[in-house]
C-alpha cells in the first residue's frame, strides 16, 4: 500500500512537470515566431518602400515658409524660392548604422562615413541632417538603396535668377533661408513673411550695363577692384549699383572675402579731385568767393614738410572754372582757405560725408575722418585726400549739385504712393547751377573730355587719388574716379565710377581722364535710352575744333 501510494505520488509529480515544460516550450516558440514575424514584416516593408513610420518617401515635412520674391522696378524676377528635398535620418529607427552610411556614400561620395556612423549610433540623437538640398537624381538614388530610418524633409531653396547680377545689393541667405547679407538681411522680416514681392529701384538693363562696363575695366585696366552707381537725382532711386569683383549668391560659399565686399556701399576710399566742385560750392555759398575771381596757381604750397602741387600745372593765373576744368590742387586749396575750418567741416557734414549714410542697408560704411581737422587736413580734404567716404555717399552728395541745391537720400526699394521723397536743401540754387556749368566745361574742354557723349550733355569731374600706405601716399597706386550727371541743362541722373589701382594702357596714362572718364561716357551712351532720357541738340564741333580737342557747350534745346 505504501508502495502504491508512493508510485501514485511520483506519477502525479511527473505529470505536473511535463505540463510546465510544455508551457515553457510553447512560450519560447511563440516569442521566436513573433520575432520572425517582425523581421519578415520589416524586411518586406523595406523592400516595398517602407511603412508610414520608416519610409524614406513618406517622411516629408515643410520646415520653412516660402520666402517672398525680389523683383526689379519692372517686375523682372531677381530672387525666388523653390521647394527642394533635404535628406535626414532618425537614428533610433536604424539597425545598422554602418550599412546605412556605406550605402549613402555611394550617392554622396564626399560623405564622411565615419562621422556619420558616429552620429547615427548616438543614442541621444533623434534627428540627424545628412545632406541639405539634394537633387532629384540624388533623391531617387537614395530611394533605390532601400535603407531604413531615412527621410526627406521639404525645405526652401533661394534661387537668384540673374546669377551674379546685382548680387552685392541683393545679398544672399543661409541654408535655412535666412538673410545674412544685402537686402536679404535688411528686409529679413518682410521677406520671411512671404508676402508680395519686394520691388527694388534697380533696372536690370541698367544694372547689366554697369556691371558689363566694370568687367571691361577689369580686362582693359587690370583693376584691383571697382564700383559704380546710377542714381535718380529727383527721387533718390538707385537704378544700378555694382561692385567688382562680383560673386554669384547662388554659390556664395565659394566666394572669397574680396569678392563679397560691396565696394560701393560698404567700402570707403579717398576719392581725390571729385571733391573739388564741393569745395568751390562751399566757398560760393558762404559768399567768400565769386565765380569770376582769378588765382595765381604758379607756385606750390608748403605746409611744414608737406608740399602741395599740381600734377599737370596750368597757366599762372586761373579762373575758378579753369581750376575745376584742369583740376588744380593749388587753386582748390587757395579757394578752401577763403573758408574757415568750421565752415568747411559743416558744409561737408551737411552733405552727409562726415557720418554713416542714412540708408536701410547692412554694413553701410562710415567715413574715415582725419585725426585732427587742422590747416593741413583742411587743405588736403579740399581736393579729396585725408577723408575716405563710400562711393554711394559721394554720389548722394552730388545730387545736390544736379538738383538745384536739394540733396536726395538714396533708396533701394520702390516707394509706395503715400511715401514722400526725402529732400534736403544744402546749397543755394544759384550756386548749384554755377557748379553744374563749371562741371560741364570740365567735360567740354578740361580733364573729362573723354567722357562726353553727343546728345547727353554730360557734366563731370575726374579724380585721381594716390592711395595711402604705411610709408605715406603711393604715386603708383591710384583710386581713379569720375562723378557726373546728365543732361547738364536738366539733370536726371548722377553716375559715379570708381576704379581701384587701374593700370595704364599702351600710350596712355593711368589717371581718371584715361580710364574712369571714358568708361562713364560708354556707360551713359548705353543706359540713357533705357532710362528714357531724351537727348538734347548740341552744336557739333568744327573740323578745327575736333583736331584741337575742344568741345562746344550745348544750346540746351531738346529734340
pLDDT classification of 28: cutoffs 50, 70, 90: very low
Give the separation between CA 464 and CA 483, rounded to whole angstroms. Answer: 12
Cell numbers found for residue 252? 556664395
Residue 23 has pLDDT above 60, yes or no: no
Mean pLDDT of 174-197: 94
Cell numbers found for residue 9? 505520488
Considering only the C-alpha atoms of the chain, give the largest distance between any 2 of them, rounded to a whole number of Å: 155
Active site residue 273: yes
Instruction: Give whole-number Cα distances, 353 to 234, 261, 359, 369, 491, in Å.
Output: 20, 21, 13, 10, 22
Average pLDDT over the chain reads 86
Q: Please tell me which residue, 521 or 4, carries the higher pLDDT value.
A: 521
Candidates 55, 81, 86, 273; catalytic one:
273
Mean pLDDT of 259-269: 97
Tell which residue, 265, 82, 267, has the closest CA to residue 171: 265
Residue 37 has pLDDT above 80, yes or no: no
Query: Among 132-136, 151-155, 318-322, 553-557, which stretch is predicted with the lowest mean pLDDT?
Result: 553-557
Cell numbers found for residue 446? 578740361
Beta strands in 487-535 (DSSP E): 493-500
Percent of the chain with pLDDT over 70: 84
Residue 13 has pLDDT above 60, yes or no: no
User: Given this model, what pLDDT does residue 56 score?
Assistant: 53
pLDDT classification of 38: cutoffs 50, 70, 90: very low
Residue 550 has pLDDT above 70, yes or no: no
82-85: list long-range contacts, CB under 8 Å, 24+ apart: 82/156, 82/157, 82/159, 83/154, 83/155, 83/156, 83/157, 84/133, 84/134, 84/154, 84/155, 84/156, 84/157, 85/60, 85/133, 85/134, 85/136, 85/139, 85/152, 85/153, 85/154, 85/155
pLDDT classification of 194: cutoffs 50, 70, 90: confident
Strand partners of residue 317: 296
Residue 237 has pLDDT above 70, yes or no: yes
Helix (H, G, I), strand (E, B) or coil at 225: strand
User: Given this model, what pLDDT does residue 472 score?
Assistant: 83
User: Given this model, what pLDDT does residue 9 score?
Assistant: 38
Specify burial of residue 341 (Cβ count, 10 A radius: 0-12, 13-18, 19+).
middle
Cell numbers found for residue 537? 541738340
pLDDT classification of 461: cutoffs 50, 70, 90: very high
pLDDT classification of 498: cutoffs 50, 70, 90: very high
Mean pLDDT of 473-492: 95
pLDDT classification of 212: cutoffs 50, 70, 90: very high
Judge contact between 497 and 228, C-beta under 8 A: yes
Residue 446 CA, chain-centre distance (Å), reads: 34
Give the separation between CA 303 and CA 328, rounded to whole angstroms. Answer: 17
H or E element at residue 155: strand 150-160
Spatial neighbors of 418 by CB under 8 A, at least 6 apart, are none
Q: Please tell me which residue, 7 or 466, carries the higher pLDDT value.
A: 466
Q: Please tell me which residue, 199 or 469, carries the higher pLDDT value.
A: 199
Query: pTM here?
Result: 0.82
Give the chain's domains with CATH numbers: 70-199 (3.90.1310.10), 206-558 (3.40.710.10)
Residue 193 has pLDDT above 90, yes or no: yes
Angle between helices 276-286 and 329-336 (to 10 degrees): 30
pLDDT classification of 556: cutoffs 50, 70, 90: very low
Q: Please tell me which residue, 290 or 542, carries the higher pLDDT value.
A: 290
Residue 266 has pLDDT above 90, yes or no: yes
Residue 48 has pLDDT above 80, yes or no: no
- 83-109: pLDDT as tens digits: 889 999 999 999 999 999 999 999 999
Give the separation between CA 341 and CA 358, rounded to whole angstroms. Answer: 25
Specify burial of residue 479 (Cβ count, 10 A radius: 0-12, 13-18, 19+).
buried
Cell numbers found for residue 67? 520666402
User: Given this model, what pLDDT does residue 539 score?
Assistant: 63
Give the separation between CA 551 and CA 334, rounded to whole angstroms. Answer: 28
Query: Among 54-63, 157-166, 247-256, 453-462, which stretch is predicted with the lowest mean pLDDT?
Result: 54-63
pLDDT classification of 29: cutoffs 50, 70, 90: very low
User: Given this model, what pLDDT does residue 159 score?
Assistant: 95
Residue 477 has pLDDT above 80, yes or no: yes
Helical H segments across 423-510, by residue range: 429-445
Could you give the dihedral angle defined by the CA atoms of residues 280, 281, 285 and 291, in that order, rounded to the nearest 10 degrees? 50
Amino acid at each position: 500500500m505504501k508502495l502504491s501510494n508512493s508510485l501514485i505520488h511520483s506519477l502525479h509529480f511527473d505529470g505536473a512537470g511535463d505540463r510546465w515544460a510544455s508551457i515553457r516550450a510553447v512560450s519560447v516558440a511563440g516569442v521566436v515566431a513573433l520575432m520572425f514575424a517582425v523581421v519578415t514584416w520589416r524586411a518586406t516593408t523595406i523592400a516595398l518602400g517602407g511603412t508610414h513610420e520608416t519610409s524614406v518617401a513618406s517622411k516629408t515635412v515643410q520646415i520653412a515658409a516660402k520666402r517672398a520674391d525680389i523683383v526689379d522696378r519692372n517686375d523682372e524676377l531677381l530672387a525666388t524660392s523653390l521647394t527642394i528635398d533635404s535628406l535626414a535620418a532618425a537614428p533610433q529607427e536604424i539597425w545598422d548604422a554602418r550599412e546605412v552610411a556605406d550605402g549613402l556614400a555611394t550617392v554622396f561620395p564626399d560623405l564622411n562615413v565615419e562621422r556619420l556612423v558616429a552620429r547615427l549610433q548616438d543614442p541621444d540623437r533623434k534627428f540627424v541632417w545628412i545632406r541639405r538640398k539634394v537633387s532629384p537624381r540624388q533623391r531617387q538614388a537614395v530611394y533605390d538603396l532601400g535603407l531604413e530610418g531615412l527621410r526627406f524633409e521639404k525645405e526652401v531653396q533661394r534661387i537668384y535668377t540673374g546669377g551674379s547680377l546685382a548680387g552685392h545689393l541683393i545679398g544672399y541667405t543661409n541654408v535655412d533661408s535666412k538673410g545674412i547679407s544685402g537686402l536679404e538681411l535688411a528686409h529679413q522680416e518682410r521677406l520671411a513673411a512671404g508676402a508680395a514681392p519686394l520691388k527694388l529701384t534697380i533696372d536690370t538693363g541698367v544694372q547689366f550695363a554697369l556691371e558689363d562696363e566694370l568687367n571691361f575695366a577689369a580686362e582693359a585696366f587690370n583693376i584691383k577692384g571697382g564700383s559704380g552707381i546710377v542714381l535718380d537725382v529727383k527721387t533718390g532711386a538707385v537704378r544700378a549699383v555694382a561692385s567688382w569683383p562680383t560673386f554669384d549668391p547662388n554659390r556664395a560659399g565659394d566666394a572669397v572675402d574680396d569678392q563679397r565686399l560691396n565696394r560701393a556701399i560698404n567700402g570707403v576710399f579717398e576719392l581725390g579731385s571729385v571733391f573739388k566742385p564741393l569745395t568751390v560750392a562751399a566757398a560760393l555759398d558762404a559768399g567768400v568767393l565769386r565765380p569770376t575771381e582769378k588765382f595765381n596757381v604758379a607756385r606750390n604750397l608748403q605746409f611744414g614738410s608737406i608740399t602741395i602741387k599740381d600734377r599737370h600745372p596750368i597757366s599762372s593765373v586761373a579762373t575758378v572754372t579753369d581750376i575745376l576744368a584742369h583740376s588744380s590742387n593749388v587753386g582748390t586749396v587757395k579757394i578752401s582757405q577763403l573758408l574757415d575750418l568750421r565752415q568747411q567741416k559743416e558744409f561737408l557734414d551737411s552733405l552727409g560725408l562726415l557720418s554713416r549714410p542714412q540708408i536701410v542697408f547692412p554694413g553701410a560704411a562710415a567715413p574715415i575722418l582725419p585725426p585732427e581737422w587742422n590747416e593741413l587736413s583742411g587743405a588736403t580734404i579740399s581736393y579729396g585726400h585725408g577723408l575716405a567716404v563710400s562711393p554711394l555717399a559721394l554720389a548722394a552728395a552730388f545730387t545736390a549739385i544736379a538738383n538745384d541745391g536739394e540733396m536726395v537720400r538714396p533708396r533701394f526699394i520702390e516707394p509706395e504712393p503715400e511715401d514722400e521723397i526725402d529732400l534736403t536743401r544744402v546749397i543755394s540754387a544759384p550756386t548749384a547751377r554755377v557748379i553744374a556749368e563749371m562741371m560741364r566745361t570740365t567735360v567740354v574742354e578740361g580733364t573729362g573730355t573723354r567722357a562726353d557723349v553727343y546728345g547727353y550733355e554730360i557734366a563731370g569731374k575726374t579724380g585721381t587719388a594716390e592711395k595711402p600706405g604705411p610709408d605715406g601716399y603711393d604715386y603708383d597706386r591710384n583710386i581713379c574716379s569720375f562723378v557726373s550727371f546728365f543732361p547738364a541743362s536738366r539733370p536726371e541722373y548722377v553716375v559715379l565710377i570708381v576704379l581701384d589701382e587701374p593700370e595704364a594702357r599702351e600710350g596712355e596714362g593711368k589717371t581718371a581722364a584715361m580710364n574712369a572718364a571714358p568708361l562713364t561716357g560708354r556707360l551713359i551712351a548705353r543706359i540713357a535710352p533705357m532710362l528714357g532720357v531724351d537727348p538734347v541738340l548740341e552744336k557739333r564741333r568744327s573740323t578745327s575744333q575736333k583736331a584741337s580737342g575742344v568741345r562746344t557747350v550745348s544750346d540746351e534745346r531738346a529734340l
